[in-house]
Amino acid sequence: MVVMVAREQVGQPRYPGRFRNAPERSRRIARPLGVVARVRGVDEELLDRIGTRMFARDELGADLAAAMSRPRTDPERVTMAAFHRALAGSDPETTAARSEAELPRRRPDTALGRFFAAVEDTPDWVDLDEVERGGRALRRMGRTLDDVLLTLSLIGGYRFGGPADLLVATGGLTGSTATRRLGETTEWARAVISPGGMRRDGEGWRLTVHVRAMHALVNRRFETNGRWNVGHWGLPVNQSDQAATLGLFSSTGLLGARALGWVVTPAESRAVMHLWRYVGWLMGVDDDWLFTTEREQNHFLHHVLLVQDDVTPAGPALAGALVAGQRHPRHVLGLLRWFLGREALTDLGLPTALPWTVPPTVLRNLVLSGLVARTRAGRRALERRGDAWTREEIGRRFAGARPAVAPLPEQAPTSVARE
């Protein structure tokens, strides 16, 4: 259920100001995806839901964030230590913390108890074997997947105002932090697709729940600190942007891999979509936006593109920082030209470059995915190859430091508990 709390409390209009703020540009950008998704017309009801849910938050996460912001003397306050003990509660390597961590989860009257009771109540539709198959399919892609997520998914998203502006406001992807923040995202994705990663005691499961809590804390901070224009942008972390981001990892990742010559079988497509559907559920995305097929996801993303705002100064700042931090920036610029076109490079303040690395990449990927991957031994070899590439990239992006996702932001306790 979606609750329009922010709009009702502050008297905002039905949609934020960014909604459909650059219609001609948005239609032009959305057109290719509409062809891929075989969109036969604009669903105005879906556009309305996307617009209104820019004012909708993850209420379970918001409840936890509010409890973590209570005064230090408040018995209902949830500390960082308590959250991390609960998060590690089923890890056999942390048995000393396990009994202490289980106590708050047995109390449904606490924010921590409600949160973990919900995320541990795995839906019946989740097939963990299918999740594993999805992870293996993505690991086989190796560098191709990394290239797609960096260019088409991440930098491609910087063409629009909103989420990019929040990243700049949090200091997340500009200047010296750009490569490390990219490494944090890569480390999270690696954990999600690793063997056993999305089981309750898996690293991917724990990091995904950690990221959900982090989003809730960031949302609460920027809703209340006066630095975010809710009337124009919607909530800092909202349901529409969350669902769109999920699609950038699922169907957009597959679409980009195909554009680089990677053969994706129907079974692999189903498994990858199932994996990200579970990740989205765990992240608090609304159930009706957890899609089972690429076509459904792409249909949704086409409509998301139709309502986007124009590029803001945040986009070029983020894109420039990421490209500058790459080992082979001309390769990245060529991929951006291949995926997004010359107009996008201009919008993002990036130099144009010919996609000269694409033809050999396509040829290599056709051989790897169309021939090598036909045998079990070949698939296992591709998974090892992909894992090795990912480890190397993560090591480079962390510059020798221990890989980790961003820590939870410390919340300044309020003098009066917020309900």
Of the listed ranges 9-13, 309-313, 332-336, 391-395, the least confidently predicted one is 9-13
Lowest pLDDT segment from 34-38, 388-392, 398-402: 398-402
| pLDDT (tens digit per residue) in 382-392 | 999 999 999 99
| Interval 42-85: pLDDT, tens | 999 999 999 999 999 999 999 999 999 999 999 999 999 999 99
Mean pLDDT calculated for residue range 295-308: 98
The C-alpha atoms of residue 160 and residue 63 are separated, in whole angstroms, by 29
262 vs 363: CA distance, rounded Å: 9
CB proximity list for 79: less than 8 A, separation 6 or greater: 68
Four-point Cα dihedral 85, 89, 93, 97, nearest 10? 50
Q: How far is CA 265 from CA 25, 158, 178, 249, 253, in A?
A: 33, 30, 34, 17, 14
Distance of CA 77 to the CA centre of its chain: 28
Query: Which contiguous run of DSSP H or E holds residue 385?
Result: helix 376-397
Residue 229 banded pLDDT, cuts 50, 70, 90: very high
* Amino acid residing at 203: E
Number of helices (H), then strands (E), belonging to the chain: the values are 23, 0
Count Cα neighbours of 177 within 13 Å in the Cβ-side half-sphere.
Answer: 14
Q: Tell me what percent of the chain is helix, strand and coil, each rounded to the nearest 5.
A: 65, 0, 35
Query: pLDDT tens digits for 317-369?
Result: 999 999 999 999 999 999 999 999 999 999 999 999 999 999 999 999 999 99
The domain spans of the chain are: 23-55+126-397, 60-119
φ and ψ at residue 339, rounded to 5 degrees: -80, -40
On whether the CB atoms of residues 389 and 47 are closer than 8 A, the answer is: no
Work out the number of other CB atoms within 10 angstroms of the CB of residue 93: 9
Residue at token pair 């790897």: 368
> What pLDDT score was predicted for residue 3?
46
Q: What is the pTM of this model?
A: 0.92
Q: What is the mean pLDDT of the chain?
A: 91
pLDDT band at 402 (very low <50, low <70, confident <90, very high): confident
- Give residues with Cβ within 8 angstroms of 110, minimum separation 6: 67, 76, 78, 104
Q: What's the pLDDT at 412? A: 52
pLDDT of residue 271: 99
Please tell me the least confidently modeled range out of 77-91, 287-301, 358-372: 77-91
**DSSP-derived 3-state class of residue 161:** coil
Token couple for 419: 């309900």
DSSP 405: P
pLDDT level of residue 112 (50, 70, 90 thresholds): very high
Residue 270 has pLDDT above 50, yes or no: yes
> Looking at residue 413, what DSSP letter applies?
P
pLDDT for res 407: 84
Residue 334 in contact with residue 340, Cβ under 8 Å? no
Q: Please choose, from the candidates 301, 204, 198, 312, the residue with its C-alpha nearest in 3D space to the C-alpha of residue 245.
A: 301
- Compute how many other C-beta atoms are within 10 angstroms of the C-beta atom of residue 363: 11
Q: What one-character-per-residue DSSP string does 117-159 give?
A: HHHTS--TT--HHHHHHHHHHHHHHTHHHHHHIIIIIIIHHTT
Residue 115 has pLDDT above 70, yes or no: yes
Task: Indicate whether 247 pLDDT > 90.
Answer: yes
The letter for the amino acid at 418 is: R
Range list of β-strands (E), 206-327: none
The pLDDT of residue 404: 86
Per-residue pLDDT of 182-208, as tens digits, reads 999 999 999 999 999 999 999 999 999
Res. 12 pLDDT band, cuts 50 70 90: low
